[in-house]
Amino acid sequence: MPKPNNSTAPLPFPILIGDIGGTNARFSILTDAYAEPKQFPNVRTADFATIDEAIQQGVLDKTAVQPRSAILAVAGPINDDEIPLTNCDWVVRPKTMIEGLGMEDVLVVNDFEAQALAVAALSDENRERIGDATGDMIASRVVLGPGTGLGVGGLVHAQHSWIPVPGEGGHVDLGPRSKRDYQIFPHIETIEGRVSAEQILCGRGLVNLYNAICVVDGIQPTMKDPADITSHALAGSDKAAIETVSLFATYLGRVAGDMAMVFMARGGVYLSGGISQKILPALKRPEFRLAFEDKAPHTALLRTIPTYVVTHPLAALAGLSSYARMPANFGVSTEGRRWRR
């Protein structure tokens, strides 16, 4: 019978690496500590009833290499043997996975722990710098990822190790500051009376913000898809969409600056996810960095902290693979999150 295990011993190869988001799941298999990962096509979570079915049909049925263990990054808190995902219907059940998929060892971590692991050693070709602050200081870092939701992860550097810090930072309060904010915020959809950062800084948040702007300006909204809003904004073809993306960049800058101060992230703040990459031209305009640095009395500190957009197409998988190869370099907690046969 599989049981929880807090061992920090390396997982046995081959290792299935999985990044399970709200919309898409990405998988690879690492055959040993030196091999390049074997990649598999992305899986849409809506196409499979369970993650076990997705792994069986999307990975195991397509390769002769059968993994002995798995490291899975999931979008949601990990509190028990059954781990529901925040933004899709899948439930990760490591015990069932071990019994049904023939694995010996399963470790489950938060999805933004995986993103944080990735930014420990991200090369210049896999990131795009925003603003003038430079440097590759070996110091704590933060990663934020507006996507299906808003993920936040910290990466603390201490005692020569990188220690990923999971959390639910995307649900911090986000409030108005400018005159325009005070016009718009009363029309943002709330959760039990409050506006969390995720209510604006994600795909559905873009639509929430766009709709609020339309209400304030007395115009009929014509777009329901976040991709349409960003496309029209970047093309300069719709006034409300342009303001939506501009304010999105501003609010993302505010939250990114807050997280930089929480973690004292002198090593940089990294923006991951598809939205960040898609609106990169907007993030390079002044609004993002101005909001990021506008943290009196610590403006001078924020000006020294670099900000980047992660352009690596599979950053979370790369981060998990780094950990799988060299677990001693990382302080990844396994307590309550590892199951062995």
Rounded Cα distance between 169 and 303, Å, is: 22
Give yes or no for a contact between 129 and 308, defined as CB atoms under 8 angstroms apart: yes
Tokens of 168: 């639910």
Side-chain half-sphere of 180: how many Cα atoms within 13 Å?
10
CA distance 224 to 207: 6
71 is annotated as contributing to ligand binding? no
- Is 19 assigned a ligand-binding role in the annotation? yes
Tell me the sheet residues that pair with 339: 4, 106
Residue 134 assigned as binding residue: no
DSSP helix, strand, coil percent of the chain (3-state; round to 5):
40, 20, 40
Q: Is 135 annotated as a binding residue?
A: no
C-alpha dist (Å) from residue 189 to 101, 171, 183, 184: 42, 14, 14, 11
Cα–Cα distances (Å) from 191 to 194, 202, 214, in that order, read: 5, 15, 21
Query: Is 20 among the annotated ligand-binding positions?
Result: yes
- Cis (ω within 30 of 0) for the bond into 313? no
Q: Which two tokens stand for residue 92?
A: 């990760």
**How many angstroms separate the CA atoms of 81 and 92, rounded?**
8
Cα–Cα distance measured from residue 185 to residue 36, given in angstroms and rounded to the nearest whole number: 47
DSSP per-residue codes, 89-143:
S-EE-HHHHHHHH--SEEEEEEHHHHHHHHGGG--GGGEEEESS-----SS-EEE
Known binding-site residues equal: 18-23
Known binding-site residues for ATP equal: 18-23
